[in-house]
Amino acid sequence: MTKLSELSGTDNYFEDFEVGAVMKHARGKTITPLENVLITNMVMNTAQGHFNVHAMESSPWGHILSYGGVNFSMVLGLSAQDCIENALEELGLDNIKLSKPVTHGDTLYAYSEVLSKTDAGQADAGIVIFRHYGVNQRDELVAQVERKALIKRRSHWGDK
Amino acid sequence: MADDFRARAVLKPKGRLYEDFEVGQKFVHHWGRTIHEGDTTLFSSLTLAFNALYFNRDFAKAHGHPDIVVNPHLLFNVVLGLSVEDCSEIGGPFLGVYDLVYDRPVYPGITVTAKTETLEKRLSSSDPKNGIVTWRTEGFDTDGKRIVGFRRSNIVRLRNPREAA
């Protein structure tokens, strides 16, 4: 089998994160029915404002709203490679705030800030808390979420 | 009469409004959901969740897991999704989630059920049509062991809006 350390990045081990550093992630993604309707239905969310175009035409918004869980899951995804590609486990989320509606055709981009780094109860990894920000194509903040993850140390998992 | 069925039909409404919530009330949510390998792989691919534990079985096994790891954010979304009809289907926008804990990694094939308790309700100070309700929701496996827990808040519309001051 291919060596494990060759299957993931080399600049995102626990040692590489500095408290206070902010990253701009390279890729954005446009929210289409593939993201919103598919995931909303797959997770059994029954609120039709996310999947009934006709009903939403007569709502105050006038169009479908992408489900907030999809929006911040996209922000968690857009930031994943740079932040948690080398995570052993994602431990939790906090302070998720949804500040602007998102609709089909909107594009999301992500930024991340390193809030804290602490030792874990094991020598080969440490705990990092990130705050991820999601903005739309107009640069408006649409979602933010804090994520706690147990991240590999290069000293144990990286190439010597 | 082609229209007869419409004239005779009685709407089967879904969802709850502000007046339907009381602090301490408990819900066991409908359905449950078995999470399949295809669900989590598709979710991880669509959201660009690039940690190979979520889509490379050899990689996951080399880290001591028996199978690929279910993306925990899918698990959370399923538990929240199961709670929507009881809590937030028609009330209004989703505001936030707090203190979310993933208790342990879970694997494809797991069957998840969800329960909720209403923690708080308050009227909006600025909007006579709406209130804010906060719940605590938890997801459980087949043996009743907790796998995820969180608080969430939504705007919830009043059935009977207050007179504007």
Confidence band of B93 (pLDDT split at 50, 70, 90): confident
Which positions in chain B touch A76 (Cβ < 8 Å)? 47, 49, 73
Domains of chain B plus CATH, in order, are 23-35+70-157 (3.10.129.10)
Contact B150 A95 (CB under 8 A): no
Which positions in chain A touch B63 (Cβ < 8 Å)? 4, 88
Q: A96, B100 in Cβ contact below 8 A?
A: yes
CATH of the domain at A73: 3.10.129.10
Contact B102 A91 (CB under 8 A): yes
- Of A106, A42, A113, which Cα lies nearest the Cα of A74? A106
- For position B3, what pLDDT does the model report? 75
Window from B29-33, B79-83, B94-98 with minimum mean pLDDT: B94-98
What mean pLDDT value characterizes chain A?
97
Render pLDDT for B28-40 as a digit per residue (tens, 0 to 9): 999 999 999 999 9
Print the domain residue range for A94.
4-157
- ipTM, interface predicted TM-score of the complex: 0.95
How would DSSP label each residue in B9-53? ---------GGG--TT-EEE-S--EEPPHHHHHHHHHHTT---GG
Which tokens go with B90?
């028609």
CB atoms within 10 A of CB A74: 29
Instruction: Cite the DSSP H helix spans in chain B.
Output: 4-8, 37-46, 57-62, 72-87
Residue A155: phi, psi to the nearest 5?
-60, -30
Q: B106, B141 in Cβ contact below 8 A?
A: yes
Share of chain A above pLDDT 90, in %: 98
Non-local (6+) Cβ contacts of B3 within 8 A are none
- For position A160, what pLDDT does the model report? 65
Segment A28-51 shows an average pLDDT of 98
Q: Is the pLDDT reported for residue B103 higher than 70?
A: yes
Which positions in chain A touch B89 (Cβ < 8 Å)? 46-47
Q: What is the pTM of this model?
A: 0.95
How would DSSP label each residue in A23-49? EE-S--EE--HHHHHHHHHHTT---GG
Contact A80 B93 (CB under 8 A): no
Q: Is the pLDDT reported for residue A62 higher than 70?
A: yes
Number of structural domains found in chain A:
1
Closest CB to A39 among B14, B72, B77: B77
